[in-house]
Amino acid sequence: MAGNPEAARRTLAAFAGRAEAIMETAAAQREDLATVGSTMNILVRVGQREHRIERFHLPVPELIEAAVMLRPVTVLQKEPVQIGKVLTALGLLLMDAPEPVRDLIREVRRQVNELLGGERWIVMVAGPGVDEQTRLTDVEIAERWFDAYVWHNDLDKQWVLRHISRDECLISASAWVSHRILIVRALQQLIVDLRQAGHLKA
């Protein structure tokens, strides 16, 4: 694609199709998408000794559907719709755009890279019965869980997660999915806005 506007346009067209498919997933259509993985329900029964905190995660079928659709965009470096390639294509097609527009694309690239690696919480596992202390971020838990049980059947990743509860894995994976859907949606809208402003030709 380097220096090839036609290839860059094909990249954007491919991303548009993949982004549309992602937005059709059940997870992407949830009204509570922005808080999935971080929502807590606190149950206190008055007059009884029952206090419970429930953390919410996506139903597993929704989670897997969205993760599979997101993987080519946010994980697989060789895919034509990988988000870095999409931003490179945008930069190529906007070489003659006003400087503020080019600066915007550079800033978007920086922020996307930060957001994809951004952690929300850390899980530490240590104590009796634990052979070695484990420290994993929610992003690491999610990606190891996908490798262990969804994208692959990676036994090494299963071993790494052996002291992390299934609920914790599902909550981390839900946050991973919701976060990346929102990033894809934002990039999808940015491309639409650039076209409407006349900076990008169809």
What number of residues does the chain have? 202
Please list, in sequence order, all residues whose beta carbon lies within 8 angstroms of the beta carbon of residue 96, skipping any fewer than 6 positions away: none
The answer as to whether 159 is a domain residue is yes
Question: In this structure, which amino acid lies at residue 180?
Answer: R
Domain extent at residue 185: 5-196
The answer as to whether 202 is a domain residue is no
Tell me the pLDDT tens digit for each residue of 133-191. Answer: 678 899 999 999 999 999 999 999 998 898 899 999 999 999 999 999 999 999 999 99
pTM: 0.86
The answer as to whether 127 is a domain residue is yes
The answer as to whether 120 is a domain residue is yes
Using alpha carbons only, give the angle 136, 140, 145 rounded to the nearest 5 degrees: 110
The answer as to whether 169 is a domain residue is yes
The answer as to whether 201 is a domain residue is no
Q: Do residues 175 and 120 lie in contact, with contact meaning Cβ atoms separated by under 8 Å?
A: yes
SS3 at position 50 = strand
Tell me the pLDDT tens digit for each residue of 52-82. Answer: 555 678 999 999 999 999 999 998 889 999 9
Under DSSP, the state recorded for 149 is: I
Domain count, the chain: 1
